[in-house]
Amino acid sequence: MNLFISNKTKKYAFLTAVIMLFTFTGFALLQAREMIDTMPEYKSETIKLPEPVQGSNTSIEEALLKRRSIRSYKDSSLTLAEVSQLLWAAQGITSPRGLRTAPSAGAIYPLEVYVVAGNVDDLPDGVYRYNPYKHELVRVAEGDKRTELCNAALGQTSVRNAAAVIVFSAVYERTTIKYGDRGIQYVYMETGHAAQNVFLQTVPLNLRTVVIGAFYGDKVKKVLKMSDREHPLYIMPVGRIK
């Protein structure tokens, strides 16, 4: 038996080991990612949203100039097209690779976006989760939940009086699996990016909003039936200018 292994054989063995290691690690990461990404299954309807438009008469400068935290709104409904536009601004997909309107560390996208609808044309009152991949809403709960959400937000009346309320939550593990504890900061930064997009998008639509950070997280989670892995981060009531 030849006990000497040629250099060529050693090279092949090393390459095979490296390939196997990459394959195994990649597979393990994919599995972990899949577990983290799985959202609760709602045996409920989905609502296709109107296509977002990509033009308006408002310049980016005008949107920046007019962005203001407004907490009281006209008692008037939003259209489904307006809700669609706001959700697209928040997390809409803008490239064939699946990249979105807001930047995301490692393009991992830890954010989930909800709409609590109370006065939206062609949308029954309820809680909906936005699916950016299909640009549609998935119903999570039925009925007007604005008062419950207002109570969870320390009674801030802007939440109860808005026609619809956008809520951002995050699954931290999607980002921390790659970036460790630093991923938590990244998630907060991303929420700010997405919320500012919504803020700016309200201007050409003649809508107004405010970002709300003061709320009881556990109560918000309950109202929106969030999974254990999700953490609410921002609440944005939206309504028409008075």
Ligand X SMILES: Cc1cc2nc3c(=O)[nH]c(=O)nc-3n(C[C@H](O)[C@H](O)[C@H](O)COP(=O)(O)O)c2cc1C
Q: Which residues bind ligand X (CB under 6 A)?
A: 68-69, 71, 156, 210-214
Residue among 113 and 210 whose Cβ is closer to ligand X: 210
In degrees, rounded to 5, the angle at the alpha carbon of residue 182 between the alpha carbons of residues 176 and 187 is 65
In the complex, the smallest distance separating the C-beta of residue 148 from ligand X, rounded to whole angstroms, is: 17
Residue among 68 and 242 whose Cβ is closer to ligand X: 68
Amino acid symbol at 171: V
In the complex, the smallest distance separating the C-beta of residue 216 from ligand X, rounded to whole angstroms, is: 12
3-class state of residue 80 by DSSP: helix
Distance CA 91, CA 93 (A): 7
In the complex, the smallest distance separating the C-beta of residue 103 from ligand X, rounded to whole angstroms, is: 18
Sorted by sequence, the CB contacts under 8 Å of residue 133 that are 6+ apart come out as: 93, 98
Residue among 137 and 152 whose Cβ is closer to ligand X: 152
3-class state of residue 118 by DSSP: coil
Residue among 104 and 158 whose Cβ is closer to ligand X: 158
Distance CA 3, CA 12 (A): 17
CB-CB neighbours of 93 under 10 Å: 16
In the complex, the smallest distance separating the C-beta of residue 99 from ligand X, rounded to whole angstroms, is: 25
In the complex, the smallest distance separating the C-beta of residue 97 from ligand X, rounded to whole angstroms, is: 30
Residue among 88 and 168 whose Cβ is closer to ligand X: 168
In the complex, the smallest distance separating the C-beta of residue 195 from ligand X, rounded to whole angstroms, is: 8
Q: Which residue is nearest to ligand X (CB)?
A: 213
Amino acid symbol at 211: V
Picking from 145, 109, 113, 149, the residue whose alpha carbon sits closest to that of residue 129 is: 113
Write out the DSSP string of 10-38. Answer: HHHHHHHHHHHHHHHHHHHHHHHHHHHHP
Residue among 132 and 148 whose Cβ is closer to ligand X: 148
In the complex, the smallest distance separating the C-beta of residue 161 from ligand X, rounded to whole angstroms, is: 12
Residue among 36 and 73 whose Cβ is closer to ligand X: 73
Distances (CA, A) of 192 to 159, 169, 189, 212: 19, 12, 5, 12
